[in-house]
Amino acid sequence: MDFCAGIGGGRAGLENLGMQCVGFSEINKDAEKTYREFFGQEEKNYGDLTKINPDDLPNFDLMIAGFPCQTFSVVGKRKGMKDRRGQIIFDLIDIMKGKNLKYFILENVKGLLNHGTGESMKIILDELDKAGYKVFWKLISSLNYGVPQMRERIYFVGVRKDLIKNNKPFEFPNTVKTPELKNYLVDTNEIESKEKKRIYESFLKYLENKYNKGKFSVEELLKEDFLVIDTRQSDLRLYRGKVPTLRVGRHGVLYIRDGKFRKLSGYESLLLQGFSKRLSNKVKNKISDIYLLSQAGNAMTVNVVETFGKSFLNYINSCQKQEQEEKNRSYWGLTPQRVDFKMKGMS
């Protein structure tokens, strides 16, 4: 089941592995609209998870949730557990216990690691442990798992302790080669000439501010195809072969293609988060870029979840196989340490 669902990046990754989603929980109405365009208007939204009675939920084996990260992010005010959003993890744990959940995959920002000198992370891991789960976690970049985006996130993989045999560890998947950026910056939609002119003129003014004056030449910049340009308050950053982390408030990423300045579109931001063209085309020209850019910035990277999910399924199957082998040994009165064969005529 998909909690803190956003637009369903986690769900899309797991469905690519053949899993079936039985419902979702999301309170943002704009995100819900995009979610339904992706997965169907009949999908059941269970709403605010802080008000959910676990008994009212359908049965499910795995929870996926990108629990609110704004309270831990360096971009936000970093109130952590003092902010109600920072306490959503405890509501998720209540649902886990209420459903006697077997497995989960959770995601949060890198800032959680050092928030409160590491105390917030410790509290979360301790609470999950007390709830009966063995947790494996790792900080990873989407850049190393199938999309050209510098997106660092912490991923937690959890298994109910009674389902793990011989303290078997979960091994995170190996990294893969970063694909070419040009396959993602493909939108052919032209922004209206008035807006295009405004964006270009604003960029020229930016180049002339006290931080950047004399550092960059428009002519030189235009010579590089798929050069990504990110304007910050005090400086301009250039990226080759990758884009900076997509965020809710980051809407002004520019790039160069065919000798022209272009603005990263909502459609392209979805592709950079691993959403397929099939799904992305469902909302292209239907959902405004101002929403898609924010929603993509708040989503899980589909490729990352799919890659982790595949390793997780292999791990689960391995644990189940081990359990079955132990049951078979127990049935025949055998133990893993010693197997005795006694046949007629032999001693």
Residues with a known catalytic role = 69
Angle 40-44-45 (CA atoms, 0-180°, nearest 5)?
110
| 130: CB partners within 8 A, 6+ apart | none
Is 222 in contact with 259 (CB distance < 8 Å)?
yes
